Amino acid sequence: MTEKKWFTSERMDIWIAAFIALVSLTTAFAAWRTSVVGSSAADANRQGVIDSIKKGTSQNESWRRAYEEAGYATGFSIESAAADAMDASGDKTYRATAKNLRQYLLPSLQLLSEPLGTQEKYLTADGAFDLEKRFADLEAETPDIQALNPIDSFDLADRYSSEQRWLTIGTVLLAISLFWLGMAEILAGRARTVNLLIGLGVYLFGVVFLLIIEAVAILGRGGAL
């Protein structure tokens, strides 16, 4: 008699309502977690783009400096050759001009062209400036910028996005179980029990599915939520 009472329609109504509430809460939690993961993916993507901009800006600045120094070094060479020519001309006025150049202009140009225009290591075998080498040295001066790797951030974002996809599938499972429980609330007799069991089965499967997804994803990221 006690067993029969346990399965009365009224009692079943309460249990089904409680299960629906539980599934609703779990669905809301899963939806929240899916949203958090999506947000983390967006953050990682943004970080990757920011790192790309930083690296790009650094490289542009390094090239600008290399070419700026090359410009001054070229100016120094031209003016130096001009001073030599004026000295060799024998003309007193030209020699005075050459002296002026050597005293004021050339030291300034040499200073501005440093180190590209003054260090031997930046000269190629044919006497040209080795801009690639100067660029590499300038880049080496900013190791923190060079350590940035946008691709790592993009890979992390892809992992988050993959988790988001799977979590969405889990959320769909929970929504389906909610429907079966709703059917159980409407139906009566054997059909009600069958629907209730299907709903609970899908719900439990969905919860286990979500837990496995979370565990695999978190372990894959080395423990990061």
Partner 1 sequence: MNETTPGTERFKSVVLVLTLLNTIFAALLSGLQVDANIRANNANRDSQYYALLVSK
Which residue in the set 75, 117, 150, 199 belongs to the binding site for partner 1 (CB under 8 A)? 150
Dist CA 225 CA 160 (whole Å):
10
Residue 103 CA to residue 117 CA, distance in Å, equals 18
Radius of gyration of the chain from Cα atoms?
37
* Interface map 182-201 toward partner 1 (x if CB under 8 A): -x--x---------------
**Near partner 1 by CB under 8 A: residue from 21, 78, 85, 169:** 169
> Residue 130 — φ and ψ, nearest 5°?
-90, 85
Nearest distance in Å: CB 59, partner 1: 5
Stretch that binds partner 1, among 94-102, 122-130, 167-175, 217-225 (CB under 8 A): 167-175
* 3-state SS class at 123: strand
Segment lying near partner 1 (by CB under 8 A), choices 10-18, 45-53, 73-81, 141-149: 45-53
Examine residue 157 and tell whether it contacts partner 1 (CB under 8 A): yes
Among 94, 176, 205, 221, binds partner 1 (CB under 8 A): 176
Piece of the chain touching partner 1 by CB under 8 A; list 54-62, 71-79, 105-113, 131-139: 54-62
| Crossing angle of helices 150-186 and 9-89, rounded to 10° | 170
Whole-number Å distance between alpha carbons of 138 and 140: 5
Task: Quickly count: other Cβ atoms within 10 Å of residue 10's Cβ.
Answer: 8
Q: Which residues is 129 bridged to in the sheet?
A: 123
Q: Of 17, 42, 111, 128, which one interacts with partner 1 (CB under 8 A)?
A: 42
Given a contact cutoff of 8 angstroms between Cβ atoms, the answer to whether 142 and 58 are in contact is yes
User: What is the binding site for partner 1 (CB under 8 A)?
Assistant: 34, 38, 41-42, 45, 48-49, 52-53, 56, 59-60, 150, 154, 157-158, 161, 164-165, 168-169, 172, 175-176, 179, 183, 186
